[in-house]
Each structure stands twice: as structure tokens, then as C-alpha cells.
Amino acid sequence: MNAARNALVVLLLAASASALAAPASERSVRQLLQVMEARKLVDGMSTQLDTVMDHAVGSALRGGTPTDAQRAAIDRMKSRMVALEKGQLEWSKLEPTYLRLYQEAFSEEEVAGMLKFYRTPAGQALIHKMPLLMQKTMLEVQRMVADITPQMQQIMRDFLADMKAAGK
């Protein structure tokens, strides 16, 4: 019985110690965001958005060549999307959110560990290769979704028909 009680005390102490861990400081989170090149990643979002838009346009055209009128519409849409994205997703607007979320999510000890890792060659490789990897992953997932879109549309049509029939 004493062993069980001792184990419970140890578990409670460990749980309370982790709950009492010092939250990450703004200074350490700023260092982490700098080492992770978060600003550069945010600035690179427009390139990713452009790639996504090009893929969406290509899917909509189904491999066809756009007419001059379609090309003008595509260009207008892209410039409106880029303007919207740049207005909302610039670093000066996002940085306070990053700081708050990282401070809420991580302890000072965890941030210190991440800083230590991201300063290593492996950490730097992750930082530099992850954006391209994520971009390629997004394109692959978009292709997969495009493949099942007709079935998803049929399921939605069937659902709407079922709902209409159930309402009678």
C-alpha cells in the first residue's frame, strides 16, 4: 500500500512540476522565431499562394489553354488575391500572434530545447527544406482531392436529393 501511495505522490509531483513550468519569455520566443526564420516563411506564403492559384486555374481549365478573356480574368483574380494576402498576412500583423501562441504553448525549457536543435545543422536543414516539402505535399494532396472531387460531388448531390425526399 505504501508503494502505491508513494507512486501516486511521485506522479502528482511530476504533474504539478510540469504544470508549473515557466512559460516561455517573449525574448526566447523572439529568438526562436528568428532562428526558425519565421518571418521569411511568412514572406514566402505569397509564393505558395501563387502556386496554389496556378494549380486551381489549371484544374479549372482541365489542361486547356485559356482565351484572352479568361487570361485577363485569371490575372485580375490573382492580383486581387495577392493584394488581399499581402494586406492580411504581413509579418508586422502576424508577429504578435506568433509570440502569444508560442508563449501559451511552450515552456521556457521547451523553447530552449528547440533553440538548441534549430541551431544545429539538422535543425537548419529542417528549417530550409520544410517550406518546399510542405509545398510539394500540398500539391500532392490537391491532386488526390482533385481525383475524388467527382465522387464527392455525387455524394453531395445524393445527399441533397435524400434531404429533399426526407422533407416531403
Q: Give the tens place of pLDDT for each residue, 72-106.
A: 888 898 888 888 887 788 888 899 999 999 999 99
pLDDT at 20: 64
Q: Is residue 162 part of a domain?
A: no
pLDDT at 51: 74
pLDDT at 16: 52
Q: Is residue 116 part of a domain?
A: yes
SS3 category, 10: helix
SS3 category, 24: coil
What's the total number of domains in the chain?
1
Residue 91: how many CB atoms within 10 A of its CB? Answer: 14
Q: Is residue 3 part of a domain?
A: no
| Domain interval for residue 37 | 21-131
pLDDT at 8: 62
SS3 category, 87: helix
Q: Is residue 7 part of a domain?
A: no
Share in percent of the chain as helix, strand, coil (round to 5):
85, 0, 15
Cα within 13 Å of Cα(123), Cβ side: 12
Q: Residues 5, 11, 12, 13: what is their CA dihedral angle, to the nearest 10 degrees?
A: 110
Q: Which residues are 56's β-sheet partners?
A: none
Low-confidence ranges of the chain (pLDDT < 50): none
Q: Is residue 123 part of a domain?
A: yes
**Whether 137 contacts 48, CB under 8 Å:** no
pLDDT at 122: 97
Q: Is residue 28 part of a domain?
A: yes
Q: Is residue 139 part of a domain?
A: no
Q: Residues 156, 137, 93, 57: what is their CA dihedral angle, to the nearest 10 degrees?
A: -60
Q: Is residue 113 part of a domain?
A: yes
